[in-house]
Amino acid sequence: NETLRDAAARRGIFVGSAINYWDLQKDAAYARLAAAQYNLGTAENSCKFAATEGQPGSFNVSDCTSVLNFAHEHGMTFRAHNLIWGRSNPDWLVNGSYSPANLSTLEGTHIQHVVADVGKRPYCWDVVNEAIADDSDNSSTLFKAADPWYPAVEDYVYKAFAEAHAAAPSSIKLFYNDYGAEGTGAKASRVIQLVKNLQQKNIRIDGIGLQMHVSTGYYPSFDSVSANIKALGDLGLEVHITEMDVKCPTCNTTQGLEQQAAIYGGMLKACLDNDNCRSFETWGFTDKYTWLDQDTYPLPFDKNLQPKPAVAELLSIL
Ligand code: XIL
């Protein structure tokens, strides 16, 4: 049987998954399947702020680079995720009652150290995660509240990209990553506005990560995802599908599994439609380990690490 990674390599794209540091330590079959099927990996949590700066000014990227090393040992490309986000932050940062000026300094220091310590090996960094106002927000600002960064540090997104550019070798691509901006709409337009603002300020941004956390009950149309990827390409940006999962409460039935497979396939096809879409990644790969409720069966392999219909569908499209 052909693997996802061999099929993807033939098409010249990455097929990837989030990889969990702890599951990697304890579950050899999980590690084997990740290495066998994927040519790109992302640490699910180990490169985030709470994991890399557990105490102020004390940096430790060893869990992050451990997942990176696993990826490289198996010939996988590594996406580093993420530098600045309103979640997965350490208590000292969230509860510290820092002034805006102090927060701005903490932001810069974190980026400088983590980017330097992880080094030149990642393919890209998700510099900022989930900063933009949602479709449901009736927002006059591009950004939404993000603890502790916004609104305290008004320019925190621009600052993050400028700091990442200063700290990173030019080979590392700088990405903005978000959910809910996969298809065209208010949030996708705000992402495009952010890109234009960065470009106008001469601050480097190389790509957009579209998370793609969807469900059989709701997902953007494949055409609108394809059109959005194209619009981002017109601005010179690479696009990655970064965190796809498809919640499927009926995936204990054949019909549910086929519906889920079709959604995975349609999104892969929307990516392959566009030359600038270079990576198709799921947020985990087995229903044994998912950040979502286990009874939503969101991932392409089942709890016994066996391929679900989604895998055959992805292979048929690659
Ligand atoms: C999630 C992890 O999967 C969980 O283990 C953790 O508790 C919280 O973060 N969007 C993202 C990812 O960008 O980093 C999130 O990962 C899922 C939503």
- CATH number (domain holding residue 90): 3.20.20.80
pLDDT score recorded for residue 139: 87
Average pLDDT of the chain is 98
Q: Note the pLDDT tens digit of each residue in 27-36.
A: 999 999 999 9
CB atoms within 10 A of CB 51: 19
pLDDT score recorded for residue 73: 98
Q: Which residues contact 189 (CB under 8 A, 6 or more apart)?
A: none
Q: Domain range for residue 55?
A: 4-317
243 is catalytic: yes
pLDDT at residue 72 is higher than 90: yes
Q: Note the pLDDT tens digit of each residue in 252-286.
A: 999 999 999 999 999 999 999 999 999 999 999 99
CB 245 within 8 A of CB 213: yes
Q: Ligand 1 pocket, 291 CB below 6 A?
A: yes
Provide mean pLDDT across the span 69-83: 98
Q: Which two tokens stand for residue 172?
A: 């590392």
pLDDT at residue 105 is higher than 90: yes
**For the whole model, what pTM was predicted?**
0.98
pLDDT score recorded for residue 1: 82
How does DSSP assign 90-125, residue by residue? -HHHHSS---HHHHHHHHHHHHHHHHHHHTT--SEE
Atom index in ligand 1 nearest the CA of residue 179 equals 10
Q: How many domains does the chain have?
A: 1
Q: Ligand 1 pocket, 45 CB below 6 A?
A: yes
163 is catalytic: no
pLDDT score recorded for residue 138: 87
Q: Note the pLDDT tens digit of each residue in 120-159.
A: 999 999 999 999 999 999 888 999 999 999 999 999 999 9
Q: Whose CA is nearest to atom 7 of ligand 1?
A: 291
Q: Ligand 1 pocket, 129 CB below 6 A?
A: yes
pLDDT score recorded for residue 196: 98
Site of tokens 């989030």: 18
pLDDT at residue 317 is higher than 90: yes
Q: Ligand 1 pocket, 22 CB below 6 A?
A: no
pLDDT score recorded for residue 3: 98
